[in-house]
């Protein structure tokens, strides 16, 4: 019997996100240390890193804005198409028996046309 406790997918996902965050913070400290070693003050290195973070956030918000705008236009186009051709007015039009009889390749047995002279009941 396996006594090993199994973790859920949510916990596994949370751990992965936590490891990624910890790695990001570690790299950020390394970059800040590298900038300080190159002669930049600690405050300026922190400000520069915050500027980079804000720039990345701005690019992400810009991309999300255009995706949201595209979604709004798609929804509006769908609603406009629904108003042009409403689904309630759609009706199936079945051919009449006379139209079926005049169609090439008509077989009365396939359509259960018992009034046709070529109909055969194969019981």
| Full pLDDT tens readout for the chain, 123 residues | 566 678 899 999 999 999 999 999 999 999 999 999 999 999 999 999 999 999 999 999 999 999 999 999 999 999 888 777 655 666 777 777 778 777 787 777 776 776 777 777 775
Residue 113 in any domain: the answer is no
Residue 75 in any domain: the answer is yes
Residue 45 in any domain: the answer is yes
List C-alpha distances in Å: 48 to 24, 40, 41, 103.
16, 10, 10, 79
Residue 16 in any domain: the answer is yes
Q: What is the pLDDT of residue 86?
A: 58
Residue 117 in any domain: the answer is no
- Structural tokens at position 119: 């109909």
Q: What is the pLDDT of residue 92?
A: 72
Q: What is the pLDDT of residue 68?
A: 98
Question: What is the domain extent for residue 39?
Answer: 9-102
pTM: 0.55
Residue 19 in any domain: the answer is yes
Residues 109 and 119 sit within 8 Å (Cβ to Cβ)? yes
Residue 35 in any domain: the answer is yes
Total domains in the fold of the chain = 1
Residue 121 in any domain: the answer is no
Give CA 47 to chain center in angstroms.
Answer: 37
């Amino acid at each position: 019997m396996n006594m090993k406790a199994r973790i859920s997918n949510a916990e596994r996902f949370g751990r992965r996100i936590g490891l990624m965050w910890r790695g990001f913070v570690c790299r950020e400290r390394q970059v800040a240390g590298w900038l300080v070693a190159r002669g930049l003050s600690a405050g300026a290195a922190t400000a520069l890193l915050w500027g980079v973070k804000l720039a990345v956030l701005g690019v992400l918000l810009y991309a999300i804005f255009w995706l949201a705008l595209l979604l709004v236009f798609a929804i509006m186009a769908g609603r406009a198409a629904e108003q042009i051709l409403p689904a309630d007015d759609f009706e199936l039009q079945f051919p009449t028996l006379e139209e079926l009889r005049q169609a090439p390749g008509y077989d009365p047995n396939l359509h259960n046309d018992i009034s046709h002279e070529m109909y055969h009941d194969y019981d």
